[in-house]
Amino acid sequence: MKHLLISLLQFSGTLAVLKFASYYADHMVLQRGPQRAIVWGHAATIGDEVTVMVSGKGEVKVNVVKDPYGNEGLWKAKLPAVTEPGPFTLTASSSEGDLTLTDVMFGDVWVCSGQSNMEMPMKQIINSSLEIAEALKFKTIRILKASMVESTTPLEDLKSLVFQWTDTNDADVSRFSAVCMLFGEYIHPNRNYPLGLIDTTWGGTPIEAWSSPDAIAECPTPNNTHLNSDTIYDGNNGQVMPRSPLDKCVLWNAMINPFLDMTIFGALWYQGESNVWYPDLYSCQFPAMINDWRKKFHACSEKETDIEFPFGFVQLAPNAKSTEVGDFPAIRWSQTAKFGFVPNEKMPKTFMSVAMDLPDYDSPFGSIHPRYKQDIASRLVLGARAVAYGEEGVKFQGPLPQTFSLNNVNNILNVNYGDDSPIKVLNNNGFEVCCSSSSTTECADSDEWVAAPITDQDTNSVSVSVAGCESKSPVGLRYEWRTSPCDLKECAIYGSDTDLPAPPYITKRGF
């Protein structure tokens, strides 16, 4: 009899065809006003009326339409704009039944994606026990973690979840993205309303896997470019076994596309280690992916997700301790579309956490996985406050070179960071000058780079020696152009008023 009852309950569950999409659940966060949250799901009867209601906020009536993905009927409701945090009860009703979600909050929803450094969970970071205990205090931060799934075709909904929406608890916080969780904790006091954080990540994956066919088409791949799972950066020795999905679009299809109908506020991204061999291509791929995500989230949410929703990312941290230039400097530069800073004209409404001064050479998870995610998150939050939320007076960038002045008589190059960018100099290393015997205006790939030590400094500039060029012409300058340029927080130049590191920099255009 007991087994029969279970079977009947399971069978009756399949008949209750009115349902929410997979990521609508108790304890969730829906996007707060002025944006209007989208709620959607499936039903069997085309044309049937579905009534969706947020307690105390009125109801919305929609009809079931044919599902373009060829599944059951589809219904999709745009809720009234809600700015109160809640909790609320959310209901959906039709001739096929009634659904109820409880403890639903309204706040800002952030999607966190990328490869292993975004995937790296709270239990693996520095002071993890204390950090997890602190995270448990934030009961209006709600988290959801998608399962690692790939698909050769776009999926309408998630196939599975690691865990459904929940408030902070030890078991789930421990395995949730540390960068995502800490970002939420650090921005929460500034916003003072609920936050919904979505962890959709997979270690060892290239940007192509997270890009749609439209984004891929924006950046034609050179004929000699291929993805090699045997040499993807990630893992304890800086590489992984060939387990990660490498085919184009497979994670876009399975782990991003299903979220498009949901109204979100912004996205956070930590990826690039698996694309270091083709930095020029990445300088096209990354802006193309951001723009494509924005267009598709905007369209599928019935224009409720902003067409330029804020997009924050982490510029790659160091890897193994070495004096070699390595692969990371060029990909870091390409992460900014070769501007050296964001936002810029190719990457509007973006913000970046510079991480090149946060090595963790002895990380038990591999030196490519630094445990200092607290610093990364706090730097992201500064960018979010300024760029995402438009907070005036928040400095979120380290010092950036503004002008150069070359004194050939004294073999000195002055690098000025601007009147509004006071600096502090921790050591005289970090700069190199390009020396050319054939040009006075441009640094060629074949030209030599030599050390250009800092010889003098003032409030907002440094002077570096170009004497190493000897009889050649100094025609270019680069700063901290190494995969692992310095020990922990010991790069050469920081903002004296922010403690933010000057980002890596290169110019080959002469002075």
Residues 156-184 pLDDT 10s: 999 999 999 999 999 999 999 999 999 99
Average pLDDT over residues 192-215: 97
Residue 32 identity: R
Q: Which residues of 203-216 are buried (b: 16+ CB within 10 A; e: fewer)?
A: bbbbbbbbbbeebb
Residue with tokens 């510029």: 315
Pair 70, 303: CB distance under 8 Å: no
User: For the CA atoms of the chain, what is the radius of gyration?
Assistant: 25
Instruction: Report in angstroms the alpha-carbon separations of 170 from 100, 119, 131, 176.
Output: 26, 17, 11, 10
pTM: 0.92
Do 122 and 128 contact (CB within 8 A), yes or no? yes
Is the pLDDT at 234 greater than 60, yes or no? no
CA distances from 390 to 27, 267, 482 (A): 29, 16, 33
Query: Reduced to 3 DSSP states, what percent helix, strand and coil does the chain have, rounded to the nearest 5?
Result: 25, 25, 50
3-state class (DSSP) for residue 138: coil
Instruction: Measure the CA–CA gap between 436 and 441, rounded to whole angstroms.
Output: 9
Question: Mean pLDDT in the chain?
Answer: 92
Residue 235 pLDDT = 42
238 — pLDDT class (breaks 50, 70, 90): very low
What is the spatial distance between Cα 378 and Cα 94, in angstroms, rounded to a whole number?
A: 46
Tell me the mean pLDDT in the region 236-248.
Answer: 56
pLDDT at 231: 43
Mean pLDDT of 348-376: 97
* Dist. CA 340–CA 191, nearest whole Å: 29
Q: What is the pLDDT of residues 441-500, one digit of tens each?
A: 999 999 999 999 999 999 999 999 999 999 999 999 999 999 999 999 999 999 999 999
∠ at Cα 285 (279, 291), nearest 5°? 145
